[in-house]
Amino acid sequence: MSKSSLSYLIQIFLFVIILTYIVDKVIYLSINQISKQVYTGQTVGKLNHYLKQKDDLNFIVFGSSRANHHIDPVKIETKSFNMGMDGTKIVYSNTLIKLLPKNKKQTVLLHISPKNSVSTNYKGEDVINLSTLFHQQDIVKNEIKKYNQNKLIQDIFWCQIYNNSALGIIKNYFIPNYNYKSYFGFDPIFVSEEQHKIFNLVLDKWEPQNCNQTFKLNQVYMSSLKELKKFCEENNKTLILYTSPIYRDDCKEDDLKLSEFLEKEGFNYWNYSDYFKNDNSLVNWKDNTHLSNIGAEIFTQEIKNRLNRMN
């Protein structure tokens, strides 16, 4: 191949790369512009809703599905929101809390899981659920990189972050699931009679968990809690940690290990794992770790009463 031919191929290659880069940014900006106007759905809607109002809230609930489905915040405080998100853990919530205003007094209620706190596999991977904010929020970008959840391609081709969410964004842009102005982040679980029967069958075949092991606290989990405590103390936030009820909790060693750490570090922690221990009615439950809408209503009232006793 002649030098001129090689030079020509290099020019074509560079042109394709530059064109791809430009097209990527145009598509990203287009999707991003649509995404910012979406306030419904779990893909980005709930997150956008939180970001839109976070500076005006007085009370915010964070955590996994055991926060999302268990506490109705508006029954506790008018200016409130439940930012619980299914499938997430401590780093996801920690990152969102760091986006709260620096000098506004707010109460932060965060669900934590004793089981997750002793997990040997947890490395903060749930923060990747905030990847749509990677190029918009420096705090989010830093957290994603901190836990090695970023990909080199994200820094070059920005559209990559919308690979798994673009369809959901477009759907909720044109066909919103609900009126977000009357939504406070709480998603109660309405359980059918058939689901109650299925859970009852699960309980009939239940085999107690073997707890003959030595538990060790996960360092990512612990360091995230320490960071969170420091942030709240420095930014006028009242931080309360809690654990939601469990129907059957065969293993208490992880609870004890986590409680010891939290007491030593001076956290305010409410462990409600056994809250329904003396009430075996399945009407309060969807499964072993999730309350029905009826159970959630009872639990919300308990949280409200305890908060009122603090004031």
The CATH number of residue 293's host domain is: 3.40.50.1110
266 pLDDT higher than 90: yes
Pair 284, 300: CB distance under 8 Å? no
The answer to whether residue 96 sits within a structural domain is yes
* Cα angle value 185/297/190 (rounded, 5°): 75
The answer to whether residue 31 sits within a structural domain is no
4 pLDDT higher than 90: no
The answer to whether residue 287 sits within a structural domain is yes
Structural domain for 237, as ranges: 58-128+144-149+186-310
CA distance 80 to 78: 6
Nearest partner of 272 among 304, 239, 299, judged by Cα:
299
C-alpha distances in angstroms, 112 versus 85, 270, 276?
A: 13, 10, 18
Q: What is the pLDDT of residue 151?
A: 78
Quote the pTM value: 0.91
The answer to whether residue 68 sits within a structural domain is yes
C-alpha distances in angstroms, 2 versus 5, 8, 10?
A: 5, 10, 12
If you average pLDDT over every residue of the chain, what do you get?
A: 91
Q: DSSP 3-state assignment of 215? A: coil
Nearest partner of 280 among 247, 249, 252, 302, judged by Cα:
247
DSSP run (H or E) holding 60: strand 59-62
The answer to whether residue 244 sits within a structural domain is yes
Pair 2, 10: CB distance under 8 Å? no
Q: How many domains does the chain have?
A: 1
The answer to whether residue 207 sits within a structural domain is yes
pLDDT tens readout for residues 183-223: 999 999 999 999 999 999 999 999 887 776 778 999 999 99
